[in-house]
Amino acid sequence: MNHRPVSRLLRALAITSAAALLNPAAALAQAFPPAKPITLVVGFAPGGAADAAARLIAKKLGENIGQTVLVENKAGAGGNIAHQQVAQGPADGTMLLLGSIGPLTIAPHMMKLAYDPFKDLAAISGGVNFPNLLVVHPGAGIKNMADFLAAARKAPNNVSYASTGNGSASHLAGELFAARTGTEMLHVPYKGGAPAMNDLLGGRFTGYFSAPPTSLPHVESGKLIPLATTGLTRPAYMPNIPTVAESGLPGFEALNWYAFVGSSKMPAAMLDRYNLEIVKVLNDPGVREALLKHGLSAHPTTRAELTEFMHKESTKWAQIVKDRNIRPE
């Protein structure tokens, strides 16, 4: 009997085991997917844009890698609680985060956090993004962006706008607009999109830099007037609504975005593998179409591209927070 093939196999296994002992990170990365179910943490309650994106992507990711991916909604503190949980979470790849613009690039400039987005969290891939849609109540007598700007310039606080809270994307969009136009508008913070929208429909303030899925049904019914979107280009599902940049403020951009990050303790090889799998999901035509139905555009990136983007956003909003003296509620 020829024992050489068996001997070669045993030697190969011994070499692999020795390598794993010498390089635990490499061994961990080889164990993909993790043996236990993966938790995708979302910092907001069920039913919103982040939750919709997380559930669509988690389902396809689980199918592709052959492991269960569970969505955990950890709402509170504008998403900061969820980000802290993952920053302090395990390094074995069983916990990911659909991070968001506020906790990752705005909140650090407004308050002391229990985590550092750039030290305790590691970039994996961009996820989804969408612009704000500036809508106004018909009773305001404003028909377009020129009217809105004229009303804002008429007198300080002549125009009022709602947001989903101090430091939220909808708030910062308004502050960026005020900074770029040299105007002062009255900010009315709420603890969520639903109460803000209800009060706008009641005519209690002028406008709202809203999430499109929240406001578009009311635009279609004629209860609200759309003025402009806050991305650099018009979304495919709102081709007839101009951007703020087109309406007299070149370069104006205030996006809502969600990105995939994980604990910085996770091995680089594991993070790279997650990037590969998440990008694959985000490039899937079925997933992209499903996301668009929620008003969300897939935005896959490399890990380096996401890191660069986060630094750019952090610098941009740090200046606005400082210049506009924005403080937590």
Distance CA 262, CA 279 (A): 15
pLDDT at residue 49, rounded to an integer: 86
33-130+255-323 and 133-229 agree in CATH topology: yes
Give me 196's structure tokens: 């803000």
pLDDT at residue 76, as a whole number: 87
Closest among 130, 145, 141, 146 to 214, alpha carbons compared: 130
231 and 131 Cβ atoms separated by less than 8 Å: yes
Domain boundaries defined on the chain: 33-130+255-323, 133-229
Each residue's pLDDT expressed in tens, for the chain with a length of 329 residues: 555 544 444 454 444 444 444 555 445 445 899 999 999 999 988 888 899 999 999 999 999 999 999 999 998 888 999 999 999 999 999 999 999 999 999 999 999 999 999 999 999 999 999 999 999 999 999 999 999 999 999 999 999 999 988 888 999 999 999 999 999 999 999 988 889 999 999 999 999 999 998 899 999 999 999 999 999 999 988 999 999 999 999 999 999 999 999 999 999 999 999 999 999 999 999 999 999 988 899 999 999 999 999 999 999 999 999 999 998 87
Q: What secondary structure, in 3-state letters, does the chain show?
A: CCCHHHHHHHHHHHHHHHHHHHCHHHHHHHCCCCCCCEEEEECCCCCCHHHHHHHHHHHHHHHHHCCCEEEEECCCHHHHHHHHHHHCCCCCCCEEEEEEHHHHHHHHHCCCCCCCCCCCEEEEEEEEEEECEEEECHHHCCCCHHHHHHHHHHCCCCCEEEECCCCCHHHHHHHHHHHHHCCCCEEEECCCHHHHHHHHHCCCCCEEEECHHHHHHHHHCCCCEEEEECCCCCCCCCCCCCECCCCCCCCCCCEEEEEEEEECCCCHHHHHHHHHHHHHHHCCHHHHHHHHHCCCEECCCCHHHHHHHHHHHHHHHHHHHHHCCCCCC
33-130+255-323: CATH homologous superfamily? Answer: Bordetella uptake gene, domain 1 (3.40.190.150)
Q: What is the reported pTM?
A: 0.86
Residue 25 has what pLDDT?
A: 46
**What CATH fold (topology level) applies to the domain 133-229?**
D-Maltodextrin-Binding Protein; domain 2 (3.40.190)
At residue 191, the pLDDT reads 82
